[in-house]
Amino acid sequence: MKRLLLAALLAFAAGPAHAEDKVSLRLNWLVYGFHMPFQLGIERGIYKRHGIELTVGDGQGSGRAVQVVAAGSDTFGLSDGASIIAGATKGAPVVAIMGIMNRSPFAVIARVDSGVTDFPSLAGKTIAATTGEAGLVIFPALLSANKMAPDAVKFLRIDGAAKLVAVLENRVPAMLGGLENQTLILEQKNLKVVTLGYADNGVNTEGLAIHTTRDTLRDKPDMVRRFILATRESFEAAMADPAATIAAGLKAKPDLDGALSLRQLEAGLKLVRSPAGPNQKIGWMAAEDWSQTLALMKQYQELVTDLPASAFWTNDYLP
């Protein structure tokens, strides 16, 4: 009898058994170093402890991630703030629920031997850029923020791979790129560079945020909160042990360059928190970042909408 009573008490203390929620996350692009905290969370059972069975899928761009989540093909997506706004204004029922990269990764990447030391020193220089890239579209805002003439900087329009070659061959002194990507590739080629981040020069936009549909928020709010909490814990674990994070990621993607992935992760983790909330918990988003992103899209990308910035994001589901 005592054994039966003890077994019953233990079963009660453990709580009822719950089937894990099957959840899918669509990335903004092919897996690289900054994506690997999700794999660390899976390997260490962080998502499982929160009742989440997570699968992570490669992406084909932020805009595409918005589309597949809006269509219900994936539960969550990872996209840049501008793509979330653009999709929502076109009818996609998505909303950002967690900021993963709240400091813009956009940067001007200049050769150290170019003499570029700060943003004003770019005056008179020619920068390599790809037509249509987001950093180029909003570049006029940087000139304005730094009180420079609209024609103070010239551009050489070439494709992405050619940008790197042009800088390496010193055909141009600088290029537009990402702090967690092209900067590291150039340094891997033994080229010393100086980086001028957009966020450090007066223009911050929402980098990468996790989004889902309004139906999911309405129907499964508890699952959303558990997913956010597990993701926060996964990124906290990644910050504590970047090397283990890459090791976990390489088990899922063994063909990746481990050394480069580690540097990508370390660079990306520096962009997690917003300049407006450097001490906030992982996932917290700043109203001013979304407001500036929306304002820049209206001014430089011909976005037409009467929706306020608050229509595209929420911190309400953060733990």
The fold of the 106-201 domain, in CATH, is D-Maltodextrin-Binding Protein; domain 2 (3.40.190)
What pLDDT score was predicted for residue 295? 95
Residue 281 burial (CB count, 10 A)? 11
Q: Per-residue pLDDT tens for 7-20?
A: 444 444 444 345 78
For the chain, residues classed under CATH 3.40.190.10 are 18-103+206-311, 106-201
Task: Summarize the chain as % helix, strand, coil (round to 5).
Answer: 45, 20, 35
Q: Please state the pTM of the whole predicted model.
A: 0.87
- Phi/psi for 149 (5° steps) reads -65, 150
First to last CA, the chain: 42
Q: Which CATH class is domain 18-103+206-311?
A: alpha beta
What span, in angstroms and rounded, lies between the C-alpha atoms of 60 and 173? 30
Choose among 63, 103, 81: nearest CA to 203.
103
Q: Per-residue pLDDT tens for 241-296?
A: 999 999 999 999 999 999 999 999 999 999 999 999 999 999 999 999 999 999 99
Q: Reply yes or no on whether the pLDDT at 179 is more than 60.
A: yes
Q: Per-residue pLDDT tens for 26-85?
A: 999 889 999 999 999 999 999 999 999 999 999 988 999 999 999 999 999 999 999 999
Choose among 210, 309, 261: nearest CA to 31.
261
What pLDDT score was predicted for residue 241? 98
Q: What is the mean pLDDT of the chain?
A: 92
What pLDDT score was predicted for residue 273? 96
Q: Reply yes or no on whether the pLDDT at 2 is more than 70.
A: no
Q: Per-residue pLDDT tens for 89-98?
A: 999 999 999 9
